[in-house]
Amino acid sequence: EIMKSVKIVGQTWMVENLNVDKFRNGDIIPEVKTNEEWMRIGDEGKPAWCYYENKKENGAIYGKLYNWYAVNDPRGLAPEGWRIPSKEDWNMLTKFVGSTGMVGKKLKSTAYWKSPNAGATNDYNFSFMPGGQRHPLGNFIQFGESGVFWTTTVGGLTNSASSPTFDNATSTAIAYDQTMSSGRSVRCVRDKTEEIKAVFNAISVKIGNQEWTASNLDVSRFRNGDPIFEAKTNEEWKRAGEEKKPA
């Protein structure tokens, strides 16, 4: 399946919420409908998903809501070639967009949110959707008013994970620690190995005993997958040089 995506500051992000019902290895992820079952499976630390208010038609626009145990399952929730973002990925995106006070405005979809959808411009075509949430007790809340997606980063509170949160009333988006048994949306980023694959597939030419790439290097990550800072302004370039940091 081809996923719609957009490249922002060297990272390729999905521009739609995840809507899969199987792990990468093909195992089925349980769909949980009742409040009692949602509570029980959360207490047991087992993976689950649902549609908002158990309505299948919501999946086509808003994707599924997953608990964090599905996100963290070793069988892999993200499709082949993708991964669940970390809080570090989110921080990198926020830093590029400008600030936590502007990121909601610039990354939210201009449609589907309830009024006022404060200042939404969707500048980078990230198109984040107000898919609402499922409370650990099983009730559905804030459809059209909030959009929240999981990261892989464990939070500082007991049984919590970091979760960027958007809402219709402000232009902010802040990563809060949220209970792992909550149901939230999932966005994926392109896997690091996919991002650097171009290096190994580069067109090359052999001269004598040496093999050279036939084009100039065009990568945004180190070999281990860490992002390389993109310096755009004269000030950023100068500062990176003075601090002896890669750019």
Closest to 63 measured CA to CA, from 110, 132, 115: 132
Residue 45 pLDDT: 98
Q: What is the pLDDT of residue 147?
A: 95
Nearest partner of 87 among 155, 133, 40, judged by Cα: 155
Q: Which of 65-74, 102-111, 159-168, 203-212 is predicted least confidently?
A: 203-212
Question: Is the model more confident about 115 or about 203?
Answer: 115
Tell me what pLDDT residue 119 has.
86
Digit-coded pLDDT (tens) for 189-208: 998 654 444 444 445 666 77
Tens of pLDDT, residues 3-21: 789 988 788 999 999 999 9
In whole angstroms, what is the distance from residue 30 CA to residue 7 CA?
Answer: 32
**For 135-186, what is each residue's pLDDT tens digit?**
999 999 999 999 999 999 999 999 999 999 999 999 999 999 999 999 999 9
Residue carrying the six token digits 């309505």:
55
β pairing state of 146-148 and 160-167: antiparallel
d(CA 188, CA 60): 17
User: Is the whole model's pTM more than 0.85, yes or no?
Assistant: no
